[in-house]
């Protein structure tokens, strides 16, 4: 599949679907749907981002929109700038963790958060209608932010409540840290943040040229260089981010990758360990995130609320219940005290704060967690998803059922989350064992139901 349209925007392969005409259409539709007049634009560093930025700016200039160019910056930097300054909207030119031959557009509202399903659908409908007028050859009317976005982002994070309170102890530890920014938007900002925290920084793949040295998704199998470097130099921790730096993955002092599911759990632990008000110790994670989060919160009298998958869904739930922190198991951490968006800089500060305050290594903190076992599967599926859910509920007994986002079934021993993809004909099945009980029979039964359901 060379084109994806989802709640987090659009992504496409260059030369196939990611063309100047397509960029112009989606940007015009976004402008018409939201009627913005001043917008912040950032990009993740892919070489193709330069021409997309030019097309975007020229197209919006034909509608008398003021484009403020932030340059190569993380997605959370754009979110923060839109939220804190007088921008009507934001666009991030990124394909997130997709390979270099992809690029895309993420759309932000005036609060600096992603569009919800209704807002996105309004944009999609305008594109599909084919009645959009604009000129991508129009001279671009662009401005450059008067506020340096990278410095502003770093100060905003380090001045955020709990992080500010632990700044001195973090700086006193003089951590040795290795960073792999996959040569993208985190290349400048993350080393600069760490230096401000008093860390000795060893930067690898921080050229900022958008040429990915390995598969850009921050998963253990792609982080062998980072793991080796951490062990080689005797670092306290390694940090890896994806191209738009909204996801954070950790490597402990031995060079072992820590499960990405533990990033948000450790951040929850860090924040809740610093709070004395148990009534405010509430975190939000999505329905596919590991139960590590519940375990981490429970160590400090906290609770976890669940919501459907998607950053905007997490943010909406956080606002609804006044959560202290939120995130997703893919390595995303959201601290509302700073801004409502997944932010690797926030995650870095919370993890270092926990290590500094507890005076424990990352491996010691990680090894405290229960030995849960999670697996993520996917199956081809062109049948009726409602029928599938009904059959599973009928045939799998003695479970708690949640229908907020696909189907999630829970027992005291395991949970299973089943979702239908919005972009391709597949079913995603994620499950987690919480003890030594046998889940194989249940999974086999669900697989059989998926195969048989029309």
Render pLDDT for 46-100 as a digit per residue (tens, 0 to 9): 999 999 999 999 999 888 899 999 999 999 999 999 999 989 999 999 999 999 9
Domain boundary among 99, 131, 147: 147
Spatial separation of the C-alpha atoms in residues 105 and 41, rounded to whole Å: 10
Same domain, residue pair 223 and 90: no
For the chain, 454 residues long, give each residue's pLDDT as a single digit of tens: 588 898 889 999 998 789 999 999 999 999 999 999 999 999 999 999 999 999 999 999 888 899 999 999 999 999 999 999 989 999 999 999 999 999 999 999 999 999 999 999 999 999 999 867 655 556 656 677 777 999 999 999 999 989 999 999 999 999 999 999 999 999 999 999 999 999 999 999 999 999 999 999 999 999 999 999 999 999 999 999 999 999 999 999 999 999 999 999 999 999 999 887 777 899 999 999 999 999 999 999 999 999 999 999 999 999 999 999 999 999 999 999 999 999 999 999 999 999 999 999 999 999 999 999 999 999 999 999 999 999 999 999 889 999 999 999 999 999 999 999 877 789 999 999 999 988 999 999 999 999 999 7
Same domain, residue pair 68 and 156: no
Taking only the tens place, the pLDDT of each residue in 142-190 is 677 777 999 999 999 999 989 999 999 999 999 999 999 999 999 999 9
Structure tokens at 418: 């089943």
Same domain, residue pair 420 and 280: no
Counting the structural domains of the chain, the total is 3
Contact 299, 269 (CB under 8 A): yes
Same domain, residue pair 280 and 337: yes
User: Residue 399, Cα to own-chain centre: how many angstroms?
Assistant: 30
Give residues with Cβ within 8 angstroms of 313, minimum separation 6. 286, 307, 405
Helices 344-358 and 261-272 cross at an angle (nearest 10°) of 60
Same domain, residue pair 250 and 114: no
Q: Strands 176-180, 200-204: parallel, antiparallel or unpaired by DSSP? A: parallel
Other beta carbons within 10 Å of 138: 14
Q: What is the pTM of this model?
A: 0.95
Spatial separation of the C-alpha atoms in residues 218 and 43, rounded to whole Å: 19
Same domain, residue pair 130 and 157: no
Same domain, residue pair 86 and 202: no
Tell me how many degrees the CA angle 341-240-262 measures, rounded to the nearest 5. 70
Same domain, residue pair 81 and 180: no
Contact 93, 209 (CB under 8 A): no
Same domain, residue pair 66 and 159: no
Same domain, residue pair 216 and 338: yes
Same domain, residue pair 362 and 378: no
Domain boundary among 341, 367, 393: 367
Contact 348, 354 (CB under 8 A): no
Domain boundary among 119, 147, 175: 147
Torsion of CA 264, 268, 271, 273, to 10 degrees: -140
**Residue 71, domain extent:** 3-147
Same domain, residue pair 210 and 303: yes
Other beta carbons within 10 Å of 169: 14
Q: What's 296's domain CATH number?
A: 3.40.120.10
Position of tokens 């059922």?
A: 401
């Amino acid at each position: 599949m060379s084109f994806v349209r989802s709640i987090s925007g659009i992504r496409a392969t260059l030369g196939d679907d990611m063309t100047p005409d397509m960029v112009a259409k989606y940007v015009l539709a976004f402008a018409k749907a939201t009627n913005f007049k001043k917008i912040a634009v950032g990009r993740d560093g892919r070489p193709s981002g330069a021409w997309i930025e030019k097309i975007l700016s020229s197209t919006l200039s034909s509608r008398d929109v003021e484009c403020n160019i932030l340059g190569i910056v993380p997605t959370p930097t754009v979110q923060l700038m839109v939220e804190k300054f007088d921008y009507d909207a934001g666009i991030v030119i990124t394909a997130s963790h997709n390979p270099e031959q992809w690029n895309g557009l993420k759309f932000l509202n005036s609060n600096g958060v992603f569009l919800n399903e209704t807002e996105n659908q309004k944009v999609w409908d305008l594109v599909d209608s084919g009645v959009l007028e604009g000129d991508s050859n129009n001279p671009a009317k662009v401005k450059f932010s008067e506020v340096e976005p990278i410095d502003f982002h770093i100060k905003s994070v380090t001045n955020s409540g709990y992080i500010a309170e632990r700044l001195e102890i973090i700086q006193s530890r003089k951590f040795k840290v290795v960073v792999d920014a996959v040569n993208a938007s985190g290349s400048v900002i993350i080393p600069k943040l760490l230096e401000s925290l008093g860390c000795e920084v060893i930067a690898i793949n921080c050229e900022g040229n958008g040429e990915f040295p390995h598969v850009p998704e921050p998963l253990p199998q792609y982080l062998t260089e980072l793991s080796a470097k951490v062990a080689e130099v005797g670092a306290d921790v390694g940090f890896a981010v994806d191209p738009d730096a909204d996801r954070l993955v950790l490597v402990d002092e031995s060079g072992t990758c820590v499960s990405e599911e533990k990033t948000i759990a450790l951040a929850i632990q860090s924040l809740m360990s610093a709070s004395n008000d148990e009534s405010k110790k509430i975190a939000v994670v999505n329905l596919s995130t590991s139960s590590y989060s519940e375990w981490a919160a429970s160590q400090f009298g906290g609770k976890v609320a669940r919501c459907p998958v998607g950053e905007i869904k997490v943010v909406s739930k956080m606002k609804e219940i006044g959560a202290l922190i939120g995130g997703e198991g893919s390595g995303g951490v959201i601290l509302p005290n700073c801004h409502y968006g997944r932010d690797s800089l926030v995650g870095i500060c919370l993890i270092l704060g926990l290590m500094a305050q507890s005076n424990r290594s990352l491996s010691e903190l990680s090894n405290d967690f229960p030995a849960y076992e999670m697996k993520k599967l996917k199956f081809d599926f062109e049948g009726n998803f409602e029928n599938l859910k009904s059959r599973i509920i009928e045939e799998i007994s003695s479970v708690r059922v949640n229908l907020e986002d696909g189907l999630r079934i829970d027992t005291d021993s395991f949970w299973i989350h089943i979702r239908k993809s919005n972009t391709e004909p597949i079913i995603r099945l994620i499950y987690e064992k919480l003890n030594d009980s046998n889940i194989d029979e249940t999974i086999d039964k669900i697989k059989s139901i998926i195969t048989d359901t029309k």
